[in-house]
């Protein structure tokens, strides 16, 4: 099970939010240095989000993303404002290993089918849900007609093997992950899931680790690492131990 440190970028800084919008906090003014820090501690994969892009609808921090990709020797996945095939190409050409699709994937099935046919496992869809429904546009809007499970099933049918799942109500709260939601999504969709949101302790990670053999492929961790609730070294040690 991968432990994936998150690097959320806004206005050139590394920031964290609560539920996507409340209680913004700046943790670093140097995203590249932050990326190197996580890799030096043993991080094997990085999750980078262009928050400016997520709300504007187009990638805004491409140069910073390029600098991160060229500065670390591990794969990075990037999302936020990726709503055209050209944007996907630009990111992959910049050294990004995998591009995360959210809003456009949820709104435009034709686009998603075309993207998947061109890029296959170089793209992954993020199922960002609140009250069971998919949210879009930087989590500012909810698609009331599109349930998270239904969306996940459509991804599996299309050919995707993995998806990212975030319970928005948990994100940045340090109140524990949506274990029930993750288990349900794995069972109901047949997808491998990368979970995100609410991680607060090593105890949370221990609970999630029990889902590894059932289809939990990784965990994205942001605020808990930045707030020092536990270290990346401790998290990696725990997940590498035999169950």
Task: Return the domain boundaries, the chain.
Answer: 2-240
Tokens 């965990």 belong to 219
- Give the pLDDT score at 147: 84
- Give the pLDDT score at 140: 52
- Give the pLDDT score at 130: 80
Using CA atoms of 155, 160, 165, 168 in order, give the dihedral in degrees to the nearest 10.
-40
CATH of domain 2-240: 3.20.20.70
- Give the pLDDT score at 241: 81
Q: What is the mean pLDDT of each run of 10 residues along the chain (243 residues)?
A: 96 81 81 98 97 91 98 97 96 98 92 98 93 66 72 96 88 81 95 94 94 96 95 95 67
- Give the pLDDT score at 173: 67
Question: Rounded distance, CA 219 to CA 189, Å?
Answer: 18
Q: Give the count of beta carbons closer than 10 Å to the beta carbon of residue 120.
A: 11
| Whether 175 contacts 143, CB under 8 Å | no
- Give the pLDDT score at 242: 67
- Give the pLDDT score at 59: 95
Residues designated as active site:
8, 128
pTM exceeds cut of 0.95 = no
- Give the pLDDT score at 23: 58
Q: Find the DSSP H helices in the chain.
A: 31-40, 51-56, 62-71, 85-93, 103-107, 109-119, 148-158, 179-189, 202-209, 223-226, 232-240
């Amino acid at each position: 099970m991968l432990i994936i440190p998150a690097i959320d970028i806004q206005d050139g800084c590394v920031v964290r939010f609560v539920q996507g919008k409340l209680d913004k906090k700046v943790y670093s003014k140097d995203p590249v240095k932050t990326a190197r820090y996580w890799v030096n501690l043993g991080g094997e994969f990085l999750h980078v989000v262009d928050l400016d892009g997520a709300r504007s609808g187009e990638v805004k921090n491409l140069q910073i993303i390029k600098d991160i990709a060229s500065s670390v020797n591990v794969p990075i996945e990037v999302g936020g404002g990726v709503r055209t095939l050209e944007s996907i190409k630009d990111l992959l050409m910049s050294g990004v290993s995998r591009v995360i699709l959210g809003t456009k994937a949820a709104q435009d099935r034709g686009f998603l089918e075309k993207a998947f046919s061109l890029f296959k496992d170089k793209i992954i869809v993020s199922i960002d849900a609140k009250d069971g429904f998919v949210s879009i546009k930087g989590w500012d809007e909810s698609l009331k007609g599109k349930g998270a499970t239904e969306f996940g099933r459509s991804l599996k049918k299309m050919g995707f093997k993995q998806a990212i799942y975030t319970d928005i109500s948990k994100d940045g709260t340090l109140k524990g992950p949506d274990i029930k939601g993750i288990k349900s999504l794995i069972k109901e969709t047949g997808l491998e899931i990368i979970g995100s949101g609410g991680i607060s302790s090593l105890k949370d990670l221990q609970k999630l680790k029990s889902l590894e053999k059932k289809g939990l492929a990784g965990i994205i961790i942001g605020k808990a690492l930045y707030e020092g609730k536990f270290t990346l070294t401790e998290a990696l040690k725990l997940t590498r131990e035999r169950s």
